[in-house]
Amino acid sequence: MIRQQELDRAAAIIRSGGLVAIPTETVYGLGADALNAQAVARIYAVKGRPSTSPLIVHVCSVEMARSLVTDWPQSASRLAARYWPGPLTIVLPKKPVVPDIVTAGLSTVGLRMPAHPAALELIRRSATPLAAPSANRFTGISPTTAEHVRRSLGDQIDMILDGGPCDVGIESTVLSLAGPATLLRPGMIPLEELESVIGQPLAKAGMAEGAHPSPGMHARHYSPRTPLLIVDGSLPPGRGAYLWWRRELEAELKLRLGDTAEAYAHQLYDALDRADQAGLDWIAIEAVPQAMEWCGIRDRIQRASARD
Ligand code: TXA
Ligand code: MG
């Protein structure tokens, strides 16, 4: 449990332009006052993130979300009622109050209300929305525990709020409502369900693996340093780590993941991190099911194994 005093200290840091790592239900975020351009500039510097990659803005109420956008369509109301607080980011045209650096110069902003009591309480006490990307170095694995954050960014940020391991385990679903509803990044929310809440099909151009190209979505992302490959039934020679869910094979380090999409997502980044820490020659991940509910997981595994 996070103590009241810690939340007060975190809110004071946010209000004075500092950086606080925050627990959310998806992954840990690196939070700063979204309305303070200088504070947001520090996020990019600490992450080593290119300024062409927009940040998600975290809110604690629909009212706060509406204060940041020029238009709040019916579909946004329905999605927020169904999924907020929760792992859904909604992209809408921004108001000038949101500094350009937050959105990498785009005219739209991604908004999300995280389902973690500490994150919500921090936003309330800071009385400002929080810009927060995942709290890892650019292209690295997203952190799902406070310990992951400490190891990668600990000495460069002002505070880490430890809210325990993240429930969901992979990043939010990102959906644009600026124009026809379009999926920008798959997460753990079933796409058919999103379509039925919006009442129309999602735009699907270029959606072979579930993801649209979106600013800041690089092929190589969420990657360990150790070379990673997706395997089905056999492993490369040498010493390596094998992440499996169905078919066990002999390897130096074997990590078993859950066999439902939810359990698997919850464990994936911690397993990747542990495999990476082991300092072996390779990490092999057993291919995962083609079913729709695994599409966010397939997206992350594919990016983690991309070479560019
Ligand atoms: O679950 C999550 O979404 C986590 C937690 C901390 O909330 N955050 C996260 O942030 O994953 P980040 O910065 O690692 O990924 C944000 C992605 C960007 O790479 C970009 O693709 C998309 O969200 N995005 C943000 N704002 C956008 C915008 N205005 N237009 C299009 N895409 C946007
Ligand atoms: Mg990230």
Residues 159-211: pLDDT tens digits?
Answer: 999 999 999 999 999 999 999 999 999 999 999 999 999 999 998 644 444 33
What is the per-residue DSSP string for 233-271? S---SSSEEEEESS-----SEEEE--SSHHHHHHHHHHH
Helix (H) or strand (E) holding 47: helix 37-47
pLDDT of res. 221: 73
Q: Which residue has the higher pLDDT, 207 or 120?
A: 120
Residues whose beta carbon lies within 6 Å of some atom of ligand 1: 24, 26-27, 29, 53-56, 87, 89, 91, 103, 106, 108-110, 112, 114, 132-134, 171-172, 174, 184-185, 214-217
Q: Which atom, in ligand 1's list, is nearest to the CA of 94?
A: 29
Q: Ligand nearest 174 Cα, by number?
A: 1
Element housing 108 (H / E): strand 108-112
Q: pLDDT by residue (tens digit) across 129-169?
A: 999 999 999 888 999 999 999 999 999 999 999 999 999 99
Q: How far is the CA of 4 from the centre of ligand 1 (A)?
A: 29
Judged against a pLDDT cut of 50, whether residue 63 lies above it is answered with: yes
Looking at the predicted structure, is the pLDDT value of residue 212 above 50?
no
For residue 117, count CB atoms less than 10 angstroms from its CB and return exposed for 0-12, middle for 13-18, buried for 19 or more.
middle
Condensed to tens digits (0 to 9), the pLDDT of residues 66-108 reads 999 999 999 999 999 999 999 999 999 999 999 999 999 999 9
